[in-house]
Amino acid sequence: MSFAPTSASTDAGEPASKKPKTGDEYFPGVPNKIEYKGPESNDPLSYRHYNADEEIMGKKMKDWLKFSVCFWHTFRGKGADPFGFPTMKRHYDDESDSMENAKRRADAAFEMFTKLGVEYYTFHDRDVAPEGGTLEESNAAMDEMADYLKALQEKTGVKLLWATQNLFSHPRYMNGGLTNPDAHVFAYACSQVKKVMDVNHKLGGENLVFWGGREGYQSVLNTDVSMIMLI
């Protein structure tokens, strides 16, 4: 997911024919499982300090440190910022909004999750499923991807820590989602939240996140400043 404008000179990925196919191995240069090799290890594909099964104060390290991989930064981000164009190309991503591409990204992600030995992942709805022309189309894509993700979870044992909704990237949310003054946008945002809650429950999410990337107010008249100062 990129938040900067695209450029023809930096956004032209490989032809779709050269992209890995669904079911291929996406990271053949990475061991099937990255292992703990101690602080003296010179192997860049090893853990030097994280030993998942080491017991500390009666609990294994993996139970103290429940790492999760964020889908958006790790598998959708393109290295862009507000001042520049994307700088990264994902070899498994043909840049399309097709369901085939969405499933290919999910396959690549779960391969890396298992190789890292990470037990959890997280996502925004639009990270894993493309947005359609209508809410119904978007929900249908989300439902299809939820089934696909559930199968990958069952196959690998990787669990969902939490899901959240993207109420900030689309232009409709330029003035917020759940605080938007337009009732139609507010209703759309509520529908999107409900879908994510349903999908999160279906996938066994252990938590649910509401992140207000564009929520707020445009005037001090929108809030009780004296109350805010006490917080």
Point out the residues that are catalytic: 124
Provide CB contacts within 8 A for 130, sequence distance 6+: 97, 98, 99, 102, 138, 141
| Three-class secondary structure of residue 231 per DSSP | coil
How far is residue 51's CA from residue 44's CA, in Å, rounded to a whole number? 15
Q: Helix 99-116 and helix 135-156: axis angle, to 10°? A: 30
**What one-character-per-residue DSSP string does 10-40 give?**
HH----GGGSPPTTS-S-TTS-SS--B--TT
